[in-house]
Amino acid sequence: MNGALLGSQNFRLSAMISMVIWIIYYIGAIGLAIIFRSLDTVVIGWAFGIFAGVIIELFAIIHIMSKYETTGYKKNYNAIFAFSLPVLFSSLISYGAGYADRFVVTGLTSLS
């Protein structure tokens, strides 16, 4: 989703949404861990942060694309998605590499 924002050259909006997503991500994880006193809820907090980020970026992209259609200025949608797909694949790979250890540790803590 962030790749589509970058492809439409909305860099400031992308940065603001990214900050909001990471704030929700970490506050959700820490808050749930403190409230429920369980490390399993940290994963739920992470998932909530990522899900909230997807929803926020989806609404932003829909708003941006509808604005372009009503003003008569049509962006080349193929160019936007051609830019955003490599960013998506790169993000998925970096997410998997960066957070796989957290999921393993969370799973192993429930065994002890």
The total number of structural domains in the chain stands at: 1
Measured CA to CA, the distance from residue 99 to residue 59 in angstroms comes to: 26
**Residues 62-96, buried b or exposed e (16+ Cβ, 10 A)?**
eebbeeeeeeeeeeeeeebeeebeebeeeeeeeee
Per-residue pLDDT of 7-33, as tens digits, reads 777 889 888 998 998 999 899 899 999
Structure tokens at 73: 């200025």
Confidence of residue 86 (pLDDT cuts 50, 70, 90): confident
Per-residue pLDDT of 26-85, as tens digits, reads 998 999 999 998 888 888 988 988 899 889 988 988 888 777 666 666 666 666 777 777
Provide the pLDDT for residue 79. 66
Provide the pLDDT for residue 30. 92
Domain extent for 27: 2-109
Alpha carbon of residue 87 to chain centroid: 12
Q: Burial of 108 by CB count in 10 Å (0-12 exposed, 13-18 middle, 19+ buried)?
A: exposed
Confidence check: pLDDT of 1 > 80: no
